[in-house]
Structure 1
Amino acid sequence: MFLVALSFAYFAKALSGSYMKSTITQLERRFDIPSYLIGVIDGSFEIGNLLVIAFVSYFGAKLHRPKIIAMGCVLMSIGTFIIALPHFIIGRYEYETSVRWVVNSTLNPSPCPVGSLADLTQDAGVITLLSAIPFWFLPRSLPMSGPRGPEKCTPEQTSFIKDSPLMKHKYPADEHTSFIEMAKDFIPTLRTLLGHPVYLIYLCVTIIQLNSLIGMVTYKPKYIEQHFRQSASKANFLMGMINIPAVALGMFSGGLLMKRLKLNIMGAARFAFGTSLIGYILSLFFFAMSCENAKVAGVTLSYNSMDTISYEKHPVFTACNSDCFCSASDWDPVCGENGITYVSPCLAGCTSSAGSGKNTVFSNCSCVGAAGNFTASTGQCPQKDDCDRMFPYFLALSVITSFIISLGGTPGYMLLIRCIKPQLKSLALGFHALATRTLAGIPAPIYFGAIIDTTCLKWGQKRCGGIGACRIYNTTAYRIAYLGLTLSLRTVSFVICIPGFILLSRQLKKEERNAIHGALSNGGAELEALRKEEFVISNSDQLQQTSDNSTDRETRL
C-alpha cells in the first residue's frame, strides 16, 4: 500500500512538473520575459530544499518516516493548487499585433498608417508579469511544496522502502529518542559523511551532470521550436510521447541488467560511466543536425539583398516603407508572396487588409514586390523543407541517447547507497538531494537561459517599457551555445570520474583487506577457544582417571 500511494504521488508530481516545463515558451510570450527570468522561475522550485531537506533526511530517519512523507505529499498538493491560481485570476492573453481593429466595423484600418508614432503606443491592457510573480515564487519556494514535493522526502522514501518491507523496523521515536540528542549528533555525523572521499567525488560528478541534464531538459522544447520551427504543442507532445518513455524504459532496463549481471559496486560504477560516455559520443552528432534560419527582412536579410542570410545588424526602415509610420518594436510577422518574412505588415509596406485573425490577408505591400500589388499573409513563412528532413533524425538520435544514458541511472544510484555505511545512508541521500538541487536545480535554468538570450537577434518590447521576450534567434549560435554548454559540463564530469575510480578501487581493496583480517582474527579466536576446550577436556579426563585409580586402590585395600 505504501508503494501504491507513493507511486501515485510521483505520478502526480511528474504530471504537474512536466506540464510546467512545457509552458516555458508560452510564459515567455504571455508575460514578455526573457529566458533567464524563466530560468529563475523554474529554479525557484528548489528554494525550499535549502531549508528542510537535510534536516528531514536526518531526523526523518529517526522518526516516523511514512508520516513525514505523507506531510510532504499534502504540502505538495497545496502548492500545486496555488501555482494554478494565476490562470483563473489574470486577464485574457492579447496577442501582439500592429493592426488596431475597429470594434463593430467591417472596415479594417490600414496597416500602413499615416500620422504620429505617438498614436501607436497605446497600451492594450495586457497584465504584466508583476501580477503573477507572487503566485509563482511563493508556492514554488515553500518547503516540500510544488510539483517536486515528494522529492524533498526522497531519502526517507528510499531508505524506508529498503529497510521496512522485509525487516522488522522499529521507529526510534517509539523508543522516546530525544530530539536534542539527535540534534547534537547531527554535525559530527555530517562531518563524518563529508570526510568520505568517494562520496564527495560522486557528489561533484552528479552535480555537474545534473547541471547539464536540467539545463538541457528545461530548454529542449524551446530548442525544437526555434531550431526546427515546430509548434509548441508538437514539440511538447513529441517530448512526452518519445523521450520520456525512452528514459523510463532505460532506467528499468538498467536496474534489470544490474540484477541479472549481479554487478558489485565497481561494476555498477563502470556500467554507469560507460553508458554515459556512449550517450556523450552520440550527442556530438547533434551539432551536424542544423537548419537555416528564417529569412526575415530587416533581421536576417537586408531589404536590398534578399538572397543570402546575414546576422549583421540590418535596418528595418527602407524606401519601400518610408511613407508608413511604423513601430520598430512590434512583432507581428507576415509572410510575403516572395517567401520572405516581414516583421509587421506595416514594415512590409502593406496599405490594406481583409479578413480577421489568422485569416487576414494584407494587400498592396510595396516591400514584397516592385509593382506594389503583392500580398502577405499572417505568420512567418514556413521555409522548413530542410528542417522537415532533418527533424526525424534528430528525434531518433534523441530517443537513442536518452535510453542509453538512462541505463546508468539505477546503477549510479545504487553506487551511492552501497558506498556509504548503513548508519550514514539516510543522511547521505538527503545531503546528496540538497546539494544537487541547490547547485544544479536552481542555477542551471538561469545561466542556460542567460546564455541562450545572448543569441537573440530581435527583442520584443513590453508595452509598459523595457525589453521583453526574444522574437527570433540566431539558430547557429543557439545550437552551438545550447549543445556546447551541455556537452562541456559532461566533459568536466568525466574528468572528475578518473580520481573517483581510483579512490573507489582503494576503498574496496581496503574493505577486502579488513574483511580478510577480520576473518583471520575470528578464526584465530575460534582456534584458541577450541584449544582451551580441548585442554579442559584433557584435564578433566586425567582427573577422572586419577580418581578411578584411587578408587581401585581403596577397593583392593
Structure 2
Amino acid sequence: LLFVLCHGLLQFSQLLYSAYFKSIITTIEQRYGLSSYSSGTISSLHEVSNSVLIVFVSYFGTRVHRPRVIGIGGLLMAVSATMLSLPHFLSQPYEYDSVLHSKNRQDLCKLQGNASDHGCGQDDSRRLADTNNLWFLMASAQLLFGVGSVPIQPFGISYIDDFAGAGNSPLYIAILFAVSVFGPAIGYLLGSVVLQIYVDVDTEQEVRHGDPRWVGAWWMGLLITACCLVLTSIPYFFFPRTMPADESDMKDDFKEPDVSLLDFLKLFPRMFVRLLLSPLFLMLVLAQCCFSSVIAGLATFLNKFLERQYGASPVYSSLLVGAVNLPAVAVGMLGGGVIMKRAGLTLKTIPRFSVALLTTSTLLCVPLFFMGCPTQKVSDVNPSSPLECYANCSCPSSAFNPVCGSDGIEYVSPCHAGCTNFTRDPNNTLRLYTSCRCVSGGQSHARPASCPNGCPHFLLPVILVMSLAALIACLTHNPLYMMVLRSVASEEKSFAIGIQFLLMRLLAWLPAPALFGTAIDTSCIWWKRVCGKKFSCGYYDNNILRNRYMGLQVGYKVMGVFLLVLLGRKAQRMQEYCLEKRPEGLL
C-alpha cells in the first residue's frame, strides 16, 4: 500500500508538470514570440523520445530493479522541469513598448517629414536570439522529460500487480488513478496563481494585470513542480526489488522464457503486424486516436481560445479549465468505470453505448460555433488599409501597445493613433494619450489597453457546455479501454496495451497539438514583427479562429463515431473472448 501511495504521488507530480506547462503556453508564446504551431510542437515533443523507448520497457519488465528505475525516471523529469525554466534566467529582462519607460518615447507620434523605419536595434536582435535559444532548451527539456516518463506507468502498475495479491490489485490501481486525477486540475490552478505575479519579480512595472503586454511569472511554477518531482522520486530508492507475495502467483510469473534482446526485436514486428491485421483492434485504436486528438487540442489551446475569443485573462482561463473542465473529465472517467461494472457491457453493446454518448457529445459542440463575436475594430488590421493620418509619424514596425480610441476603434500603438502627448495620474501611472490625429470625434484621445471584448457574457456558458460535452464523452473512456483488452487473446494482452499506447502517441498526442496550432495560426490577421521577422500573433480573426478550432474537434469526433459504427457492425458477427473463464480479464 505504501508503494501505491508513493506511486500515486509521483504520477500526480508528473501530471501536475504536464498540465502546468500547458497552462503557461500562451504566456511563453507572448514572451518569446512563438507561433501556435511552434508552441504546440514543443508541448508534444516529449512523445517522440517516449515512443522510441516504450518498446524496450515491455522487454525489460522483470529483468531490472523496477522501483529504482522509476526513481531515476522521476529525477530526470525534475531535471527537465528545471531546464524549461532556464530561458527566463538566460534571456534579458522582458521589455514592452511604453511611453513612460522607453528611452526615446518612440511610441508617440513624432512629426517628421518622412516615415522612417527604425532599423534592427541591438535589443531586437537579442530578442530574436533569445527565441532561438528558447527553442533549443525547451526542445531538449521536453525530450528528456519523455525519457524520464517512460518507466513510470508500465513498471509501476506491473510492480503493484505482481505483489498485491490476487484480489487487491484492481482496488490499488483504482486508488492510484484517483490520486493522480487531481494532478492536471491542480496544475492549471497553480498556473492561475503564478501568472498573477509579474515575470521579472525584481523590477517595478507599469503594466497592470489584464494589459495585453502583461507577462506572468511562468518560470516559477516549473521550479515548484521540479521540487515535487524530486521529493516524490526519492522514496523509490528504498523499495526492494521484489516483495513477499502469494507464493503460487510468483512461481508462474518468474518462469518467463529468457529471450535475448535480439530475438525480442526480431519477434516484435511479427507480433505488431499480427495485431494490426486484426480489424477489430485496429478500428478501436484508430477511434481512440480520434478522441485523444480532441483532448490534446483542448489541453494545449483551450486557454488561448478562451483568452482570444472571450477576453478572459490567462489567470482566469487557467482557473476555469482547472476548476470546471478537468473535474468534469475526471467525473466522466470514474462514471464510465461504474457503468461498466454495473451494466455489464459486452463486446457487442460497448460500441452502441459509445456511439450514442459520443454523438450526443458532438451535437453539444454545435451551439459553440455561434457563441462568440467578431474581432473588435482595429485600425490598419481590420479593415487593413493604412491610414494617412500617421503617415509621417515614423512609427516603428515592431510597435505593439494597443490603445482604445475615444471613437471605439482600437489602434496598434499610440503612434498608430497619431497621439503626440499623454497625461499621468498623481501616482505617475499613465492615464490618457491626448491630441490623437487618427481618432475621430470631438475628444481625440485614447485610453491605454485594448478596447473591451464584446463577448465576456459567453465565457461561462461556453465553458459549461464544453465541460458537459467532455463529461459525456469521457463516460466511454473506460468501456473502450476494456474493449481493447477483450478483443485480443489473453496472452497478447500486455503487448496489445503497449501497441495501443504507442499508436495513440504517434497518431494523436504527437501530431494533434501542432495541427491545432496550425489551424489557430491560419486565422491570424496581424503578426507582431521584430527585425522584419514574424514574432507572435497580435490579432486573430475571431470568427475564423472559432470555426477552425471547434471545426477540427468536431471533425475528429465525427471520424471517431464513424469508426465505432463500423466496429459495432463488425462486433455483431464476432465471438467474444469469454470473461467467465478468465478472471483477470476484468482489469
Give 1:258 shift: 1.5
Quick check: 1:142 aligned with 2:144? yes
Alignment of 1:98-497 (within 5 A): 101-102=102-103, 111-115=108-112, 117-119=116-118, 121-124=120-123, 125-126=126-127, 128-142=130-144, 144-145=146-147, 149=149, 153-162=152-161, 164-167=163-166, 168-170=249-251, 177-180=258-261, 181-301=263-383, 314-318=384-388, 320-355=389-424, 359-370=430-441, 374-384=444-454, 387-462=455-530, 464-497=531-564
In the TM superposition, what is the alpha-carbon distance from 1:41 to its structure 2 partner? 0.9
Matching of residue 41 in structure 1 with residue 42 in structure 2 = yes
Conserved 8 A contact 1:22-1:236: yes
Q: Which deviates further from its counterpart, 200-209 or 49-58? A: 49-58
Is the 1:59–1:182 Cα contact (8 Å) retained in structure 2? Answer: no
**Structure 1 length-normalised TM:** 0.80
Give the partner amino acid of 2:134: A
Q: Percent identity?
A: 29
Shift of the 85–128 alpha-carbon distance from structure 1 to 2, 3 Å rule, reads closer
Deviation at 1:226, TM superposition (A): 0.7
Work out the CA distance in 2 between the residues paired with 1:110 and 1:400. 46
Q: Give the conservation status (yes or no) of the 8 Å contact 2:287–2:564.
A: yes
Q: Secondary structure at the match of 2:573?
A: helix
Cα shift at 1:15:
1.1
- CA gap 1:411/1:160 in 2 versus in 1, 3 angstroms: farther
User: Are the counterparts in 1 of residues 348 and 572 from structure 2 also a CA contact under 8 Å?
Assistant: yes
Q: Paired residue for 2:79?
A: 78
Q: Which moved more, 1:124-133 or 1:390-399?
A: 124-133
Query: 1:160 offset after TM fit, Å?
Result: 4.8
- Aligned residues of 1:65 and 1:156 also touching (Cα < 8 A): yes
Q: Measured at CA, do residues 358 and 15 of structure 1 come closer, stay the same or move farther in structure 2, by a change above 3 Å? A: farther
Task: Please give the alpha-carbon distance, in whole angstroms, between the structure 2 residues aligned to 1:47 and 1:110.
Answer: 44
Cα offset for 1:417? 2.1
Distance 1:253 1:11, change over 3 A: same
Which residue in 2 is equivalent to 1:308?
none
Which stretch shifts more, 37-46 or 328-337? Answer: 328-337
Q: Which amino acid aligns with 1:43?
A: S
Rate the CA distance shift 1:134–1:329 in 2: closer, same or farther, 3 A.
closer
In the alignment, what sits opposite 1:93?
A: 94
Question: Could you tell me how far apart the structure 2 residues matched to 1:478 and 1:48 are?
Answer: 32
User: Deviation of residue 296 (structure 1)?
Assistant: 1.0
CA distance in 2, matches of 1:437, 1:66: 25
Q: Could you tell me how far apart the structure 1 residues matched to 2:361 and 2:372 are?
A: 19
Give the drift of 1:482. 0.7
Shift of 1:113: 1.4
Instruction: Evaluate the alpha carbon distance shift between residue 70 and residue 431 of structure 1 in structure 2; reply closer, same or farther with a 3 A threshold.
Output: farther
Give the secondary-structure state (helix, strand or coil) at the position aligned to 1:351.
Answer: strand
Distance 1:89 1:327 in 2: 27
Distance 1:110 1:431, change over 3 A: closer
TM-score, normalised relative to structure 2 = 0.77
Equivalent pair of 1:112/1:350 in contact (CA under 8 Å):
yes
Task: Report the CA distance shift for 1:316/1:216 in structure 2 as closer, same or farther (over 3 A).
Answer: same
Flag the 1:330–1:35 CA change in 2: closer, same or farther, 3 A.
Answer: same
Q: Which sits farther off after the overlay, 269-278 or 226-235?
A: 269-278
Q: 1:159, 1:425 within 8 Å by CA — same for their partners in 2?
A: no
Deviation at 1:97, TM superposition (A): 4.6
- What secondary structure sits across from 1:470 in the alignment? strand
Residue 114 (structure 1) shift: 3.1
Task: Determine if contact 2:97/2:107 at 8 Å carries over to the other structure.
Answer: no
Give the letter for the 2:393 counterpart.
C
2:407 and 2:440 in contact (8 A); partners too: yes
The residue that corresponds to 2:567 in the other structure is 500
With 156-165 and 89-98 compared, the bigger mean Cα shift is at 156-165
SS of match in other structure, 1:264: coil
Against the structure 1 CA distance between its residues 268 and 174, is the aligned structure 2 distance closer, same or farther, given a 3 Å change threshold?
same
What do you get for the CA RMSD once the two structures are aligned? 2.9
SS of 1:398's equivalent?
A: helix
> Could you tell me how far 1:478 is from its partner in structure 2?
0.7
Contact 2:47 2:509 in 1 (8 A): yes
| TM-superposition CA deviations, 1:254-285 (whole Å, max 9, x none) | 11222222323333443333322221111112
Match of 1:540 in 2: none
- Which residue in the other structure is 2:15 paired with? 14
| Cα pair distance change 1:395/1:226, threshold 3 Å | same
Aligned pairs, number: 490
Measured in 2, the distance between the counterparts of 1:496 and 1:9 equals 35
Q: Which moved more, 1:72-81 or 1:352-361?
A: 352-361
| Greater Rg by CA | 1
CA separation in 2, counterparts of 1:102 and 1:346?
15
* Conservation of the 8 A alpha-carbon contact between 1:336 and 1:377: yes
1:342-362 CA-to-partner distances (Å, cap 9, x unmatched) read 111111111112339973521
Post-superposition offset of 1:64: 5.6
